[in-house]
Amino acid sequence: MAFRREKYVPRGGPSGGDGGRGGHVVLVADGRKTTLLDQHYQRQYRAPGGEPGRGKDQYGHAGEDLRIPVPVGTIVRDADTGETIADLATDRAEAVVVRGGSGGQGNKHFATPARQAPRFAKPGRPGEQRRLRLELKLLADVGVIGLPNAGKSTLIARVSRARPKIADYPFTTLVPNLGVVELPEHRSFVMADAPGLIAGAHEGAALGHRFLKHVERCALLLHLVEVPLEPGHDVVADLVAVEQELQAFDPELAAKPRLLALSKADLPHAPEVLAALEAAAAERGTSCHRISAATGEGVRALVLSLGARLAEPR
């Protein structure tokens, strides 16, 4: 609330300016960022407030928006209600997740012929406060799925420059790995090597949802089934076990286009296992490849087949 009191300006009247709005909190997808580590360590963010209005009809500046870079593929949810606020699936996508307050109105707005000297102003409204949950889902074209030790990490190391940890015990892969696979004519696609899947993963067993959520965005799934070390093991049962987990987690995920591949095909009894897997692939209307990531057998043909499937209209 203010009135003009200047020399040679008799009865200057009300001159209180408006306050500026508060800054918004904006999340911006940044292709250069790969993790949410910054948000893990800094848990609170506050956008600056707006300036108050002043006399002589001076309006306050709006608060500057607080822009927080996050990785591409970040999903923003309200931590209290679970509502999805934004899905930042493309580079430079942005979302206003918390809005700043509105500025108040100075007394100059309330002058009328009958009330020429209003001695009040309208206060602004406070900004929002919100608890958010950020979740990162990888963006890849091909997601490699299968039981632990099916050869997923070995395959992605063979076809790309990714160097995931590889060992002969279950759950060597604890975090997903991304690799860029080169194709002829300067084309390429991104392959995600996700942690292994076991029965009960849709309920959180083993790595559970930490595995399954990273293949939801993939356009194509590559299902690896390994040749067992001992003859007589039912590989079709292994295939069905993974399919059941996909179906229980999300039917849309289970319905994604899929290729089958028999890994570790350099083992002596691979031909017997391949026949059973090819029959299962025919029932599912998909193709089956025989590969050995260790020797390179069939790997190039598999990569070309994946590239051809990705080139089809989605």
Residue 253 has pLDDT above 50, yes or no: yes
Tell me the percentage of the chain whose pLDDT exceeds 70: 90
Fold match between domain 25-136 and domain 142-311: no
Q: What is the amino acid identity at position 53?
A: G
Q: In which band, very low, low, confident or very high, does the pLDDT at 205 lie, cut at 50, 70 and 90?
A: very low
Could you please state the CATH topology (level 3) that the domain comprising 25-136 is classified under. Answer: Spo0b-associated Gtp-binding Protein; Chain: A, (2.70.210)
**Mean model confidence pLDDT for the chain:** 84
Q: Which residues pair with 6 in a beta bridge?
A: 9
**Domain spanning 142-311: which superfamily?**
P-loop containing nucleotide triphosphate hydrolases (3.40.50.300)
Residue among 268, 263, 308 nearest 290 (CA): 263
Does 203 or 262 have the greater pLDDT score? 262
Distances in Å between the Cα of 10 and the Cα atoms of 58, 107, 108, 136 are: 19, 18, 16, 63
Confidence at residue 202, expressed as pLDDT on a 0 to 100 scale: 45
Domain extent listing, the chain:
25-136, 142-311
What is the structure's pLDDT at 98?
A: 95
CA 61/CA 284 separation, integer angstroms: 63
Residue 74: predicted pLDDT: 92
Distance CA 19, CA 61 (A): 7
Q: Which of 307, 89, 298 is nearest to 189 (CA)?
A: 307
Split at pLDDT 50, 70, 90, the class of 133 is: very high
Residue 30: helix, strand or coil by DSSP? strand
Q: Is the pLDDT reported for residue 206 higher than 60?
A: no
More confident residue, 293 or 126: 126
3-state secondary structure of 262: strand
Answer whether 0.85 is exceeded by the pTM: no
| Cβ pair 287, 308 in contact under 8 A | no
> Looking at this protein, which amino acid is placed at residue 195?
P
Q: How confident is the model over 61-74, as a mean pLDDT?
A: 92
Judged against a pLDDT cut of 80, whether residue 10 lies above it is answered with no
